[in-house]
Amino acid sequence: MPTFLLTNDDGYFSEGIRALREELKSLGRVVAVAPDRNLSGVGHALTFSQPLRVRRVEEDFWTVIGGTPADCVHLGYYLFLDGKKPDLLCSGINEGPNLGEDITYSGTVSGAMEGRILGIPSVAFSAFGRDEVDFRETAKVAKEIALKVLEGGIPEDTYLNVNIPNLPREEIRGFLLTRQGRRAYKEKVLKLLDPSGRPLYWITAEEFGWHLEEGTDYWAVYHGFVSITPLQLDLTNYKAFEKLRTKF
Ligand code: MN
């Protein structure tokens, strides 16, 4: 019976972690550790500067007070798995997609990255769609992928970024291996005023858009496919060596 480590940057109370936990429990033991608040966009931050407290939510379900997704994976691995490596780490299901450059901010993807650093096969799951996410449906798809990964494994150094269209299972057109796409939106900083007239700033996006290039993560979910992008820990740009060698 496999053991899963589960986290979610939307917090332990999120619908996405609860739906995925239920599906994975039909396959094996699930140890869930998640932040006590929504930490979407926190990236791969790990808390070094202060101690952390952990609170038990239910059997095999914990929340880290003020902890990031990477903290949760770290503590889950070292505290709640009796020193045994889990068979799979799942991060999600995130409410909203994690595509293109956004994955660098993503607490969901960073949860999976942390798992991979600890030597665990790891998958990040996010839901894509305009309407309210049906986590029961997307969790069924996540379970299918978890099973495939358990059976086939994933290469060393690799973790998966999965985006699932928010559609009934029968309307999903299939699974596609994709590459990371590119955003085409304008970032913007809104200036507001507080009640005393002092400025406040709000980082936002003026408009969302994407380069609809075939083979990318965005292209896949836009067309109703589940997007599966293999990511790697090694961020080195090997193609740049040749050009930079003339300078250094
Ligand atoms: Mn999130």
Quick count: other Cβ atoms within 10 Å of Cβ 180?
Answer: 18
Residue 165 is part of which domain span? 3-182+212-234
Asked if 180 and 163 count as a contact pair (C-beta separation under 8 A), the reply is: no
From the centroid of its chain, how far is CA 106? 6
What residues form DSSP beta bridges with 77? none
Cα(247) to centroid(ligand 1), Å = 41
Residue 200 in any domain: the answer is no
Residue 197 in any domain: the answer is no
Going by C-alpha positions, the residue among 21, 25, 101 that lies closest to residue 62 is 21
Cα(92) to centroid(ligand 1), Å = 8
Cα(33) to centroid(ligand 1), Å = 15
DSSP 8-state assignment for residue 206: E
Residue 165 in any domain: the answer is yes
Residue 192 in any domain: the answer is no
Q: How many whole angstroms separate alpha carbon 159 and alpha carbon 154?
A: 7
Cα(124) to centroid(ligand 1), Å = 11
Cα(90) to centroid(ligand 1), Å = 14
Residue 206 in any domain: the answer is no
Q: How many whole angstroms separate alpha carbon 171 and alpha carbon 155?
A: 30
**Total structural domains within the chain:** 1
Cα(18) to centroid(ligand 1), Å = 14
- Kindly report the CATH number assigned to the domain that includes residue 43: 3.40.1210.10
What residues form DSSP beta bridges with 192? 200
Residue 247 in any domain: the answer is no
Which amino acid belongs to residue 165? P
Cα(127) to centroid(ligand 1), Å = 10
Cα(147) to centroid(ligand 1), Å = 23
Cα(95) to centroid(ligand 1), Å = 6
Quote the pLDDT of residue 187.
Answer: 72
Residue 60 in any domain: the answer is yes
Cα(200) to centroid(ligand 1), Å = 24
pTM: predicted TM-score of the whole model, two decimal places: 0.94
Residue 246 in any domain: the answer is no
What's the pLDDT tens digit per position in 37-58? 999 999 999 999 999 999 999 9
Below-70 pLDDT ranges, the chain: 185, 205-208
DSSP 8-state assignment for residue 84: P
